[in-house]
Amino acid sequence: MGFFAYILVLHALLLSLSLLVSARPATFQEDFKVTWAQDHLKLVEGGTAIQLTLDQSSGCGFASKYKYLFGRVSMKIKLVPGDSAGTVTAFYMNSDTDAIRDELDFEFLGNRSGQPYTVQTNIYANGKGDREQRVNLWFDPSLDYHTYTILWSHRHVMFAVDEVPIRVHKNNEARGIPYPKSQPMGVCSTLWDADNWATRGGLEKIDWSKAPFNAYYKDFDIEGCQVPGPASCTADPTKNWWEGAQYQELTPVQARLYRWVRINHLVYDYCTDKSRYPIPPPECTAGI
C-alpha cells in the first residue's frame, strides 16, 4: 500500500473514531445571529445550510449568540468555487475584547482557478497575534463540504480539517508564553474582500466580473462551556470530555497525519520567517 493510500486508510479510521465523540448539534436559527449584511446571507438546501455572498456592495458575517470557554466547535463549509482570488472565507473564535482579544482563526485564502486553496491559521493570546501558518489543502474545498474543527482545551489548541490535524499550539504558560484561557470566545464567520493581501500577498486582485462569490455552511457543532454560566471552565475530564487524556496529545494516527501535512502541505510558518523574526518567538522553541 502506498503512503498516500495508507494515509487515507488512517483518515477513514480517524473519521470513524470521531463519530464516537458526542457533540451538541447547533442550528443557525437557534444558535447564531447575523452580524453584518443580513441581505447577503440566506438559508438554502431546504433550510439545512446557509449561503454567504460577497459582491461589490458588501461581504457578510455571522456569530454565535453565546460565547464559550474551551471546548470543540466545527462546521462543514463549501468554499467559493472557480476564480476566488482576493476573497477570504473565515471561520474563527473571538473574544471581542479589542486590544487584549483572544482569537483562533481559520482563514481560507481564495485563488486563481487551478491553484490550490490555502488555509491560514492564526492564534491571538492576550492581544498578541502574528502567529500565522499556511497549509495548501490537498483537495478542492469548493466541490463539496468538508469539516473544519477547532479543539480548545487547557492543554492545547488543535485545528483540524476532516479530522486531520493541521496545527497544534500547546499551552506553554509555564515558560511565560501567553495562552488563551480566561476569555470566553464567540464562534464567528465572515466572507469578505481581502485582495490587498489574501492571494499572493495582494498581487492577485478580485475579478468582480466573477461576482457574486458564494460560500456555504452546514452541520454546526458546538460543545463547550457556555457563557454566561460558570465563572470558569474546569479542566476536570469527568465534567468536560475535551479535557480527557485522549484529547491532550495526538494519537499515533493523528501524529502520523499531522507529520504528513507538515511535510507535504505546509507552505508558510511564522516560526521560520527570519525576515519577520530574526530570533524565533519563544513558543517556536518551546514546542508548538
Looking at the annotation, which residues are catalytic? 103, 107
Query: Residue 239 corresponds to which amino acid?
Result: K
How large is the greatest C-alpha to C-alpha distance in the chain, in angstroms? 54
Peptide bond into 281 cis (omega under 30): no
List 185's β-bridge partners, or say none.
68
Q: How many CB atoms lie within 10 A of CB 18?
A: 15
Q: Which three cell numbers stand for residue 114?
A: 487551478
